[in-house]
Chains A and B, each alone.
Chain A
Amino acid sequence: VSAPADKPVELTADTIEYDAKTGVMTAQGAVKLVRDKAVLTGANARYNTKSKEAYVSGSVKVVREDTTLTANEVRSYNDNYLVATGSALLTKGENSLAGPKIEHWVDRQYSLVPNNARLTMPDGWMTANRVEAFHTEDRAVADGDVHIVSDKRSLDATSDKAVYYGSKTEQGKVVMSGNARAVQEGNVLTGKTLTIYLDDKAMDAQGRPKLVVKPQ
């Protein structure tokens, strides 16, 4: 799905400077930029109607269908690719992705948190150096210092990498690989790869698995 060619654009604010020749609009105060199905609000904005580039700063919020993105600053390119920086938080359905910087592609429904990422899911939360989210598949891939905590399942697990499958496409599960270690109600399971089944509190381990059961 490619971004729409020339959709209407509406910019409202306290003050707007507009150069008809360059197509650049600069707005200050209570800024609201509506384009296609996306609504961007913030304190200041600059939008180029020709290059379709937008820059919004100051408590920025972007709402598009069931996706909400908040940050200190958001840059939008061709109304499709958004880069949010400064306490960025992307919420979609029941999951939310946070980090100092989030990149989001509307057409691919894909988001990337290149560092200090945190994914919050109905089952708990996951942190990692880097997280990619594939929204339509309800799938997220975490890379580097992965740490998963689920109070609901009293689970605390770590690994080098992890892939989280939400319940939308398959049975909800998390596949952790590389020095995987999971602690659940005192029992410790380690292995090269651990698969944690979210719905029925089951786990399985491959690659020299080792289970240490806590005496009752």
Chain B
Amino acid sequence: MKLSKSTYRALACTLLIIAGGLYYFNREELPPPPTQEAKPAEVSAAVTFSGSSIVEQQDGKKQWEVTAESVQMNPDTNKARLVNFKAILYRADGSKLDLVGRQAEIDTKTRDIDMAGDIKAVSSSDGAVFTSATARWAAKERKFYGGGGITLTRYDTIVTGDRIEGDEQLERVKVMGNARVLKGGTPQ
């Protein structure tokens, strides 16, 4: 059965109407285009991306490298917030310090890193293992801080205490609060 011209025209109109309706009802779900100036009251839009890494280089030399499950960059504060991170601190003598933890915040201006949550660091030069509840890498001083209860184990020496500050090798350290150094096992 052959359709007449007018039938074709009716069909086309119907299709047009359906398409228009579909567009009208769906346009709400598409994200609103980002506005250039965020109103002061509103939290600025944080750019979130997952499974990425941040690398800092200086004079062409890698200083540290951090990967995380998620990185949230806050352009207002220039701080990146990381969840479940892994960091590698490259030290002057070529060795490195591997760190893991639950949260970290990197100040991309000062390059300081504040870390929290089951911090564990392993030194590649002598196998020293450091653990703490919180930690901080102060880039300018190239010093390491730990708090909330720390342990530092190197060969037969175990250092424990409330807080610690140390050089990047964690060789010269100062332990504050319930400080204890045990060398060669527990004296009988």
Q: Decide yes or no whether A27 CB sits under 8 A from chain B.
A: yes
CB-contact partner of B187 in A7, A14, A19, A49, under 8 A:
A7
Contacts of B177 on A, CB cut-off 8 Å? 14-15
Q: Decide yes or no whether B157 CB sits under 8 A from chain A.
A: yes
Contacts of A34 on B, CB cut-off 8 Å? 187
Beyond A13-B179, A15-B174, is A8–B159 a contact (Cβ under 8 Å)? no
Contacts of A21 on B, CB cut-off 8 Å? 171-172
Beyond A18-B159, A21-B172, is A11–B181 a contact (Cβ under 8 Å)? yes
Instruction: Give the distance in Å from the alpha carbon of A19 to the alpha carbon of B175 in the complex.
Output: 11
Beyond A15-B175, A17-B174, A35-B187, is A10–B161 a contact (Cβ under 8 Å)? no
Q: Decide yes or no whether B154 CB sits under 8 A from chain A.
A: yes
In the complex, per-residue mask of A21-38: 1 if CB is within 8 Å of any chain B CB, else 0: 100010100000011110
A76 → chain B closest CB, angstroms: 14
Instruction: Give the distance in Å from the alpha carbon of A35 to the alpha carbon of B186 in the complex.
Output: 9
Place the interface of chain A in its size category: 20 to 34
Contact A16 B187 (CB under 8 A): no
A4 → chain B closest CB, angstroms: 10
Q: Decide yes or no whether B133 CB sits under 8 A from chain A.
A: no
Contacts of B55 on A, CB cut-off 8 Å? none
Contact B182 A8 (CB under 8 A): yes
Contacts of A16 on B, CB cut-off 8 Å? 159, 161, 174-175, 179-181
Instruction: Give the distance in Å from the alpha carbon of A11 to the alpha carbon of B171 in the complex.
Output: 17
Q: Decide yes or no whether A12 CB sits under 8 A from chain B.
A: yes
Q: Decide yes or no whether B142 CB sits under 8 A from chain A.
A: no
CB-contact partner of B180 in A6, A8, A12, A35, under 8 A:
A12
Q: Decide yes or no whether B176 CB sits under 8 A from chain A.
A: yes
Contacts of A25 on B, CB cut-off 8 Å? 181
- Chain B positions 102-124 with a Cβ under 8 Å from a chain A Cβ: none
Contacts of B157 on A, CB cut-off 8 Å? 18, 20, 49
A30 → chain B closest CB, angstroms: 10
Contact A27 B186 (CB under 8 A): no
In the complex, per-residue mask of B147-188: 1 if CB is within 8 Å of any chain A CB, else 0: 000000010010101000000001111111111111111111
Contact B187 A27 (CB under 8 A): no
B153 → chain A closest CB, angstroms: 11
Contact B171 A10 (CB under 8 A): no
Contacts of A18 on B, CB cut-off 8 Å? 157, 159, 172-175, 181
Instruction: Give the distance in Å from the alpha carbon of A103 to the alpha carbon of B142 in the complex.
Output: 45
Contacts of A49 on B, CB cut-off 8 Å? 157, 183
Contact B171 A7 (CB under 8 A): no
Residue positions of A touching B, CB distance < 8 A: 6-21, 25, 27, 34-37, 49
